[in-house]
Amino acid sequence: MAVSTTEANREFLQVSEEELQRFRSIPVRGEQARRSMGQILGRTWFWILILFILLYTLFPFYWAVVSSFKSSNELVKTPPTFWPTEPTLENYRNVFTDGGFMRALLNSTIVSTSVVIVSLVVGTLTAYAMARLNFRGRRFFMYLILSMTMFPGIAIIGSLFQIMKRFNAFDTLWGLIVVYLTFALPFTVWVLSNFFRAMPPDLEEAARVDGATQMQALRQVLIPLAIPGMVTTGLLAFIEAWSEFLYARTFTISEKAKTVQIAIADFTGNTQFEVPFGTRMAAAVVVTVPLLVGVLLVQRRIVSGMTAGAVKG
Partner 1 sequence: MAMGAEVEAIQTRNSEVRKSSGRFGGPTTTAGRQEERLGWMLLTPTVLVVVLVAIYPLLETFRLSFTNYRATRPDAWRYIGFENYRDLFADDVFLRSLRNTFVFTISSVGLETILGMVIALTIHSNFKGRGLVRTSMLVPWAIPTVVSSLLWVWMFHDGYGVINGVLVRAGFDRFQNFNWVGDPTTALGAVVAVDVWKTTPFMALLLLAGLQVIPEDVYEASRVDGASKWQQFWQITLPLLRPALLVALIFRTMASFRVFDMIFVMKQYATDTMSVSIFAFREMMVKQRYGFGSAAAVVIFLCIGLMVIGYTRLIRVEEG
Q: Is residue 53 close enough to count as binding partner 1 by CB under 8 A?
A: yes
Q: Is 7 exposed, middle or buried (0-12, 13-18, 19+ CB in 10 A)?
A: exposed
Q: Is residue 138 close enough to count as binding partner 1 by CB under 8 A?
A: yes
| Minimum CB distance to partner 1 smaller for 102 or for 148 | 148
- Given phi > 0 = left and psi -120 to 50 = alpha, else beta, which region is 168? left
Residues 253 and 171: beta-carbon distance below 8 Å: yes
| Minimum CB distance to partner 1 smaller for 117 or for 306 | 306
CB of 97 to partner 1, least distance (A): 20
CB of 134 to partner 1, least distance (A): 5
Q: Is residue 223 close enough to count as binding partner 1 by CB under 8 A?
A: no
CB of 155 to partner 1, least distance (A): 4
Size of the site for partner 1 (CB under 8 A): 116
Binding part of the chain for partner 1, among 29-37, 83-91, 93-101, 274-282 by CB under 8 A, reads 274-282
Q: Long-range contacts: 61-67, Cβ < 8 Å, 24+?
A: 61/288, 64/281, 64/284, 64/285, 64/288, 65/281, 65/285, 67/277, 67/278, 67/281
Q: Is residue 128 close enough to count as binding partner 1 by CB under 8 A?
A: yes
CB of 292 to partner 1, least distance (A): 6
Q: Is residue 152 close enough to count as binding partner 1 by CB under 8 A?
A: yes
Q: Could you give the string, one character per residue 67-96, with x where binding to partner 1 holds by CB under 8 A and - elsewhere?
A: x-------xxxxxx----------------
Residues 2 and 46: beta-carbon distance below 8 Å: yes
The CA distance from 182 to 119, in Å, is 10
DSSP state, residue 172? -
Q: Is residue 40 close enough to count as binding partner 1 by CB under 8 A?
A: no
- Given phi > 0 = left and psi -120 to 50 = alpha, else beta, which region is 101? alpha
Report 153-182 residues binding partner 1 (CB under 8 A): 153-163, 178-179, 181-182
| Minimum CB distance to partner 1 smaller for 162 or for 272 | 162
Report 227-256 residues binding partner 1 (CB under 8 A): 232-233, 236-237, 239-240, 242-243, 245-246, 249-250
| Minimum CB distance to partner 1 smaller for 25 or for 307 | 307
| Minimum CB distance to partner 1 smaller for 28 or for 194 | 194
H/E stretch holding 74: helix 72-75
The CA distance from 75 to 77, in Å, is 6
Residues 177 and 109: beta-carbon distance below 8 Å: no
Amino acid code (one letter) for 279: T
Q: Is residue 297 close enough to count as binding partner 1 by CB under 8 A?
A: no
Given 61, 88, 172, 269, the residue binding partner 1 (CB under 8 A): 61
Q: Is residue 272 close enough to count as binding partner 1 by CB under 8 A?
A: no
